Amino acid sequence: MMNKRFGYVRISSKDQNEARQIKNMLAAGIDERDIFIDKQTGKNFDRPQYQALKDPTRLRKGDTIVFDSITRMGRNMDDTLKEYRWFVEKGINLEFLKEPMINTNNKEDDVILKAIQQAVLVILTAFAEKERKDIRIRQAEGIAAAKKRGVKLGRPSLELPKEWDLLYKKWKSKEIKAVEFMNLVKMNKSTFYKKVKEYEEEINSN
């Protein structure tokens, strides 16, 4: 079986456009159906399309995943390093279009080269995490300034049952089924999934 090339695209919000990254993936020779797209922040790796891409029934040793840059993989230094090493251990090649110096598909078994590569990776992931923190600080400063001017920001806080957080975690970890969750919070199916969507959008924006 021939090895495959997959592309991973991530944008931080629905307001951003993934077209540029997709164009880069297509230019890198990746079939459109093999491009996985998440519209979530890079603070962690609990992203549906990223996890779908890692599914062992899809991803095999010798396959390649292409990212536009290391920041599209993740913005948390420790977690991103763990993910990177996980792929290396599984024999999955990683390509970063903007930072080819940290690609893992180098055939040379050069210890010094690998050490330099790891050092560069640590520096890049540290900068990615710092950039994310700086963005959050600027956002907080902008919100504070707007509030000081009397500007009302954001949507109204979600009206959810007090036990929602606990039940949501149990549902996500498959301790309870969706029907159980709906019954416990006394919601019909359409209301339930609407609230789930709003709740996830709120927690992913933090």
Catalytic residues: 12
Q: Which residue in this structure is represented by tokens 């039940």?
A: 167
Q: Which H or E run includes 187?
A: none
DSSP codes, 49-78: HHHHHT-TTT--TT-EEEES-HHHH-S-HH
Distance CA 155, CA 195 (A): 14
Give the burial class of 84: count Cβ atoms within 10 A of its Cβ; 0-12 exposed, 13-18 middle, 19 or more buried.
Answer: buried
Tell me the C-alpha distance between 133 and 102, whole Å: 23
Angle at 203 between CA 200 and CA 204, to 5 degrees: 80
Which helix (H) or strand (E) segment holds residue 158: the answer is none
